[in-house]
Chains A and B, each alone.
Chain A
């Protein structure tokens, strides 16, 4: 019984962390069709932003939930204005340029912060279920993922901002004719995506440790989750997080964490062979 509860919590945690990792990418890729290979580095910047903020005495929760997203959003806007804007519509070039940015960011952070592991210790301590002990922070991540999912859906569906963003992505010329500057909407959308990436990086920092190259550990998982999800942003993200998170955690229990990741990635590749347009390309059509 206790074991079952633990497994349940771990599976939920795997799903939630996959969701949190992928949400920023889902917004940038799903809305703008920009493949942001610097996504992992945006997460890394978020983690460093939180660490730096805490060094200046900012409260842990403020650092993670406010400072990190804001800092990365600002960086994202600058990068979008300077580089990515020139490449809209050229998917492959965008991939290459953002990969260049990812190396560039790794290089910059390594030069500034050094190649060592910094970290935030996980707050809130542990709680016990029977003979097992679980980090309470796990529950925080699950809670954040749930809130994030609903917030994303609410913003996209029920606010004028979300309406404008979706409209611009569907038909930029029409939006332009109606008096909305598509350039500004792209910037804002990219900023939101970057903020979510920064939040994810900071949020997971206590669980993973922080090094300049930490982005590489997330990028493949995030991409496979977003692509596996298919065209619907929120529904796709939720469904593929659930599927891949469950595969990952169950395989981890059966063997080792490395094989858990391998199972996730292999499962995803096989699934893409069966459902080339992702889960929501086949099921839940018309959802968001």
Chain B
């Protein structure tokens, strides 16, 4: 490579980072989502649509950790705790109240309030992120053990028995506010879940674009400097944590609606591990990455579940180890980086012959697409 060529090299990470931060990528992701929202209910049969719903619900959960961990720098091993609290809060409240409006709100508020208390203990105690991981893991296990042991009839909140390890069956679905008989159907739930996913995505993009979002990212990048600039990083971290918990709670509420059932496994270690794997695989520090990772891994575990020879823990564990060691950035940034490189290569060779150039431009085109996803 000649020096002249070197000067024209596109700075690889910057081009990608710029694109991922620009409004174009947000618009593209939302457009893809809107198309899915409009098209999928028309082309998919009911069974596939129900499957697609759980992907969307879990994608919201993945997004919550993708935000808390990738942008706030808070490694929360217990995101499933908030997910489970959301599911249980909805289930218990709706059994008691009948109308689903207040339970829906409670499913978001209860996990957020719980996260506020927990986050206060962690951030205001200035515990390091390693302790953070261990404590959130511990809290998840506490909830799991606690709910697991409430099998007897004496364990009930209002009219709602907690059910212990049997879980809570027959959870009433969401209804139009004020009209208990007008309940949501599978198609409505799909639209609500995917709509919620897009809404959360948009909300997080907007948040990250404004000042609060920048301070949150700064508290991950260099907490010391942020403190010296006069920001109380603890407060921002607490806010990030609580917002993440609220989103996870929303996802839990939708999950309880999806199966009309919730059991303590929503708090389990396996669930926590899965969320982490989604984010790692998809790409830490992106918002689209966790969603893609979530869909890919869920699809994979469903496929594994249909056969008996390979254990799903084995595969998930192997994926986690391989990604941490070999693809630490995750799929989306890695593929995006490759795309930008191809794009750079295409721009650097203007003298290639006609049809080759066509290929290069195709690459360029694909590259932009890949970055966007």
Binding site for B on A (CB under 8 A): 35, 83, 86-87, 91-93, 95-97, 99-108, 110-111, 216, 219-220, 223-224, 227, 256, 258, 261-262, 265-266, 268-270, 272-274, 276
Q: B138–A104 contact, CB under 8 A?
A: no
**How many interface residues does B have (CB within 8 Å)?**
41
Question: Quick check: is B324 within 8 A (CB to CB) of the other chain?
Answer: yes
Q: B130–A92 contact, CB under 8 A?
A: yes
A111 to B95, CA, bound (A): 40
- Which of chain A's residues has its CB closest to B310's CB? A111
Q: Contact check: which of A92, A106, A262 meets B142 at CB < 8 Å? A: A262
Question: Quick check: is B325 within 8 A (CB to CB) of the other chain?
Answer: yes
25 cross-chain CB contacts under 8 A:
A35-B134, A92-B129, A93-B328, A95-B130, A96-B280, A97-B320, A100-B319, A103-B316, A106-B314, A106-B317, A107-B312, A110-B314, A220-B134, A223-B137, A227-B134, A258-B148, A262-B146, A265-B139, A269-B135, A269-B139, A272-B121, A272-B125, A273-B121, A273-B124, A276-B126
Question: Quick check: is B31 within 8 A (CB to CB) of the other chain?
Answer: no
Q: A86–B121 contact, CB under 8 A?
A: no
Contact with A along B62-76 (1 / 0, CB 8 A): 000000000000010
Q: B313–A106 contact, CB under 8 A?
A: yes
Q: A261–B138 contact, CB under 8 A?
A: no
Q: B324–A93 contact, CB under 8 A?
A: yes
Q: A223–B321 contact, CB under 8 A?
A: no
Q: Is the interface of B mostly helix, strand, loop or mixed?
A: helix
Binding site for A on B (CB under 8 A): 75, 121, 124-127, 129-131, 133-135, 137-139, 141-142, 145-146, 148-149, 269, 273, 276, 280, 310-322, 324-325, 328
- Report the minimum CB–CB distance from A187 to chain B (whole Å): 18
Q: B130–A91 contact, CB under 8 A?
A: yes
- Which of chain A's residues has its CB closest to B311's CB? A107
- Which of chain B's residues has its CB closest to A215's CB? B269
Q: A97–B324 contact, CB under 8 A?
A: yes
A224 to B141, CA, bound (A): 12
- Report the minimum CB–CB distance from A60 to chain B (whole Å): 30
Q: A269–B324 contact, CB under 8 A?
A: no
Q: B145–A97 contact, CB under 8 A?
A: no
Q: Contact check: which of B127, B311, B316 meets A276 at CB < 8 Å? A: B127
A105 to B311, CA, bound (A): 11
- Which of chain A's residues has its CB closest to B150's CB? A258
Q: Contact check: which of A87, A104, A272 meets B317 at CB < 8 Å? A: A104
B145 contact set on A, CB distance < 8 A: 258, 261-262
A265 to B138, CA, bound (A): 7
Q: B131–A103 contact, CB under 8 A?
A: no
- Report the minimum CB–CB distance from B321 to chain A (whole Å): 4
Q: B131–A227 contact, CB under 8 A?
A: yes
- Which of chain A's residues has its CB closest to B135's CB? A269
A276 contact set on B, CB distance < 8 A: 125-127, 131
A104 contact set on B, CB distance < 8 A: 313-314, 317-318, 321
B127 contact set on A, CB distance < 8 A: 272, 276
Beyond the given A96-B320, A227-B134, could you list 10 further A-B residue pairs with CB under 8 A, ordered by the A residue number? Answer: A35-B133, A92-B130, A100-B316, A111-B310, A111-B314, A216-B269, A219-B137, A220-B141, A269-B138, A273-B124
